[in-house]
Amino acid sequence: MNECQYLYALSDANIAHAQLGPGVDPRFNAEMAACGRLTAVVSRVGLDQFDPAKLQAQSADVAWLSQVAVRHNTIVDALARRAAVLPLRLGTIFNSRDSMAAQLAKCETQVIQFLRRLGDRQEWAVKAYCVEPQELAAAGAPCDVSSAAGLGGSQADGGHGTQYLIAKRREVEMRQRLLIAQKQELLALQQGLSLLVDGTCALRLLPKEITGRDEKMLWNGAFLVSRERQPRFRRACDELSRGFPAKGLTVEVTGPWPAYHFCPALEY
């Protein structure tokens, strides 16, 4: 069986070696290999599954891709909990160890500089979701937004057409007021967290098919946080989002993760 080399992450040469278990191709273990002034986390993969020419066709196999992604992230995460690492994107493959070493030699200085800047920092993800105004009201949440907008007062009786137009206007105004209130809460959250972090990155909003949640994603951000500040960062997330439920918002905080969204594009 023909084989090639799958690259997971890079760290400096001083990282302690560890047993990492099976790689993305379970027939071969992941291992830490010296590569100039770097340590590369690699494993062999069979070309029967990981042939670059076939990967595009293989991408239709969602179950297979999911298994590869989970194992890739598990290996990178295990290393990132011990030292500064530069994680590589899914499917980074080289024909041989020699070709990998030759390519990495071109960006060795760039990687080392990144690792020094990264230090003990790790990535945290903060996502905010919102519910529709009707769902908020149905859940019995406080109607502070609508009452502040002057939407709860009585209106002179009119025909059914007039009442319908008034109701639609109220709904539009309530949506607008609620959106403004939500954006204000999110801005306060971002500003508060920015005092505790060393980097921020706004990420694309994900559809419900990916999040698996009924609520709409309203904000998605990544933060680079030192290990020392991580407990304060987590407490700040809780404190700053305390008023979220009254505005139809929920917040999801996960981490720590490898610094996926703060890595440079390597110049091979």
Q: Could you tell me if 230 and 113 lie in one domain?
A: no
- pLDDT of 97: 93
Identify which has the larger pLDDT, 9 or 66.
Answer: 9
CATH of the domain at 146: 3.30.70
Could you list the residue range(s) of the whole structural domain that residue 153 is in? 122-262
The position carrying tokens 């069979």 is 46
**Mean pLDDT value of segment 4-25:** 92
Give how many domains the chain has, as a whole number: 2
Same domain membership, residue 83 and residue 11: yes
Q: What is the pLDDT of residue 12?
A: 92
Same domain, 105 and 173: no
Average pLDDT for residues 38-54, to the nearest whole number?
88
**pLDDT 10s digits, 156-184:** 455 677 887 777 777 777 778 888 888 89
Token pair in block for residue 90: 């899914």
Q: Do 251 and 129 share a structural domain?
A: yes
Q: State yes or no: pLDDT of 30 exceeds 50.
A: yes
What does the pLDDT read at residue 135?
52
Whether 131 and 252 share a structural domain: yes
> Is 94:191 a contact under the CB 8 Å cutoff?
no
Average pLDDT for 61-79: 91
Q: Is residue 268 in a domain?
A: no
Helix then strand then coil, in percent of the chain rounded to 5, is 45, 25, 30
Q: Label the pairing between strands 199-202 and 86-87.
A: unpaired
The residue from 118, 152, 168 where one domain ends is: 118
Are residues 151 and 201 located together in one domain of the fold?
A: yes
Q: What are phi and psi of 249, to 5 degrees?
A: -115, 150
Q: What is the mean pLDDT of residues 239-263?
A: 93
Residues 181 and 61 in one domain: no
Residues 145, 194, 235, 210: is their CA dihedral positive or negative? positive
| Alpha-carbon span 5 to 39, nearest angstrom | 14
Q: Are residues 127 and 255 in the same domain?
A: yes
Residue 19 has pLDDT above 70, yes or no: yes
Q: What is the reported pLDDT for 166?
A: 74
206 and 251 co-located in one domain = yes
**Which of 61, 89, 118 is where one domain is finished?**
118
Mean predicted lDDT score pLDDT of the chain: 86
- Domain boundary residue, one of 95, 118, 141: 118
In terms of domains, do 84 and 127 share one? Answer: no
Query: For residue 189, what pLDDT is reported?
Result: 94
The confidence score (pLDDT) of residue 54 equals: 67
Query: Do residues 241 and 222 share a domain?
Result: yes
H or E element: which one contains 124? strand 121-130
Q: Would residue 91 be called left, alpha or beta, if left means φ above 0 and alpha means ψ between -120 and 50 degrees?
A: left
Model confidence over 124-160: pLDDT tens digits? 999 999 976 555 544 444 444 444 344 444 444 556 7
| Long-range contacts formed by 108-117: CB under 8 A, 24+ apart | 108/36, 108/37, 108/38, 110/264, 110/266, 110/267, 111/10, 111/38, 111/86, 111/266, 112/12, 112/37, 112/38, 114/86, 114/263, 114/264, 115/10, 115/11, 115/12, 115/84, 115/85, 115/86, 116/84
Q: Is residue 60 pLDDT above 50, yes or no?
A: yes
Alpha helices in the chain (DSSP H): 47-50, 52-58, 62-80, 97-106, 108-118, 133-138, 144-148, 160-194, 208-211, 230-240
Residue 13 has pLDDT above 60, yes or no: yes
Residues 85, 212, single domain; the answer is: no
Provide the CB-side half-sphere exposure for 205 (13 A, CA). Answer: 11
Read off the pLDDT of residues 185-218 as tens digits, 9 standing for 90 and up.
999 999 999 999 999 999 999 999 889 998 999 9
